Amino acid sequence: MLVGLLFALAIAYAVFFMNWFKPAIIKIYHLTRPVGYAMRARRDDPAPPLTFGLEGSYQLTEVKVVVLAEWQTNRHVLPVWDLVSDSNSVPVKFFAYGQRIRGMRPALPGTRPQLLQTNVAYRLFVTAGKARGQHDFEIGGSLPGTK
C-alpha cells in the first residue's frame, strides 16, 4: 500500500510540477528592416520587410499569419500566409514574411502570401511538432518618402 501511495505521489509530482506533459511554447519576436536590408522587397508592398525570430532553432511544421480582428470573431478565417511542412523542414531561427522555407509549402497549392497592410494587427502562429507559439504584430504607418 505504501509503494502504491509513493507511486501515486510521484505521478502527481511529475504531472503538476515537471511540465513533462505540457507542450513547449515557442517565443517569437519580429523586426522590420528598411527596404533592401534584410531581403528584396516587392515593389508594390506598402510595408517594410518583416523578419520573425524564434528563441531557439525549430523544425517548423506550420506557419500561419491571420488578420487579428477577423480571427477574434472567426477562428476559421482565411490566413494571409500559410505554410505547412511536407515532411522535414529545415531548422530555422529566423524567417521573413512571405519567405519560402525549405521543406515547407503553401497549405493551399498555388497561393501566395498577401501583402501586409500598415496599421493592421496580425497574429503569427508557428508550430514545430508539439511546440507552439503565437505573436501579435502591427506594421506602423507609411514609410518615409511615400504617400
CATH number, domain of 95, equals 2.60.40
pLDDT in tens, 26-52: 999 998 866 454 444 455 555 568 899
Query: Which residues have CB under 8 Å from 13's CB, separation 6+?
Result: none
Domains contained in the chain, number: 1
User: Does 66 reside within a domain?
Assistant: yes
pTM across the whole model: 0.75
User: Does 6 reside within a domain?
Assistant: no
pLDDT in tens, 49-88: 889 999 989 999 999 999 999 999 999 999 999 999 977 8
Percent of the chain with pLDDT over 90: 57
User: Does 13 reside within a domain?
Assistant: no
User: Does 30 reside within a domain?
Assistant: yes
- Containing 134, the helix (H) or strand (E) segment is strand 131-138
User: Does 124 reside within a domain?
Assistant: yes
User: Does 18 reside within a domain?
Assistant: no
Domain that holds residue 63: 23-138
pLDDT in tens, 14-29: 777 776 666 789 999 9
User: Does 28 reside within a domain?
Assistant: yes
Handedness of CA 133, 60, 63, 57 (dihedral sign): positive
User: Does 143 reside within a domain?
Assistant: no
Q: Contact at 8 Å (CB) between 53 and 119?
A: no
